[in-house]
């Protein structure tokens, strides 16, 4: 086998590794894109396909909003259910999706009623 063939094989192997790792790598999504996490964010998640371990980034003015990881009842009723739901308050929260249904609402005042909620089914 000539040197050129060996080099091509090495290149192909490296290429395969790079492609493979890209497929395996979790994606990162900025919730609401440039608008961030705010009133009317609901619906941003529609038409996207999320996977377990993908990261959601919630950007908002710290103290004005928060992010509460609620269950489906909490999402439907705009309540922070269950009572031990995890609450994020940094203004730049990075949350990893779990397989199945992931529900997030803003737990401050009645912001959730103004569509500050998202529901994602991660595969
Ligand atoms: C959500 O949590 C509450 C309180 O723990 C529970 O009663 C309710 O059944 C849960 N809803 C779902 C859909 O899991
Ligand atoms: Cu809010």
N-terminal to C-terminal alpha carbon distance within the chain: 45
The structure tokens 């790079």 sit at: 18
pLDDT digits (tens, 9 = 90+) for 103-120: 999 999 999 999 999 999
pLDDT digits (tens, 9 = 90+) for 55-100: 999 999 999 999 999 999 999 999 999 999 999 999 999 999 999 9
**Pairing relationship of beta strands 55-59 and 28-30 according to DSSP bridges:** parallel
pLDDT number for residue 7: 61
pTM: 0.83
The structure tokens listed for 19 are: 């492609």
CB half-sphere exposure, 18, CA atoms < 13 A: 6
The structure tokens 């994602």 sit at: 120
pLDDT number for residue 79: 98
Fold of 26-122: Immunoglobulin-like (2.60.40)
Residues whose CB is less than 8 angstroms from the CB of residue 107 and which lie 6 or more positions away in sequence, other chains included: 66, 67, 68, 80, 87
Nearest ligand to residue 80 Cα = 1
pLDDT number for residue 86: 98
Residue with the smallest CA separation from ligand 1 atom 9 is 73
The structure tokens 């009572």 sit at: 83
70 in contact with ligand 1, CB cutoff 6 A: no
pLDDT digits (tens, 9 = 90+) for 8-36: 665 554 556 555 655 668 999 999 999 99
Atom of ligand 1 nearest to the CA of 70: 1
**Alpha-carbon distance 56 to 115, whole Å?**
17
Query: How far apart are the CA of 81 and the centre of ligand 1, in A?
Result: 7
82 in contact with ligand 1, CB cutoff 6 A: yes
Residue with the smallest CA separation from ligand 1 atom 5 is 82
71 in contact with ligand 1, CB cutoff 6 A: yes
Please, which residues have CB less than 5 A from ligand 2, an ion?
65, 106, 108, 111
pLDDT number for residue 11: 54
* Strands in 6-66 per DSSP E: 28-30, 55-59
């Amino acid at each position: 086998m000539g040197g050129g063939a060996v080099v091509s094989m090495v290149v192909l192997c490296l290429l395969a590794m790079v492609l493979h790792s890209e497929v395996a790598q979790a994606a990162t999504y900025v919730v609401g894109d440039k608008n961030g996490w705010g009133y009317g964010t609901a619906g941003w998640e529609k038409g996207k396909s999320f996977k377990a371990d993908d990261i959601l980034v919630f950007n908002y003015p710290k103290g004005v909003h928060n992010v509460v990881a609620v269950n489906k009842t909490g999402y439907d009723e705009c309540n922070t259910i269950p009572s031990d739901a995890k609450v994020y308050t940094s203004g730049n929260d990075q949350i990893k999706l779990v397989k199945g249904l992931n529900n997030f609402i803003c737990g401050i005042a009645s912001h959730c009623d103004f569509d500050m909620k998202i529901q994602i089914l991660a595969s």
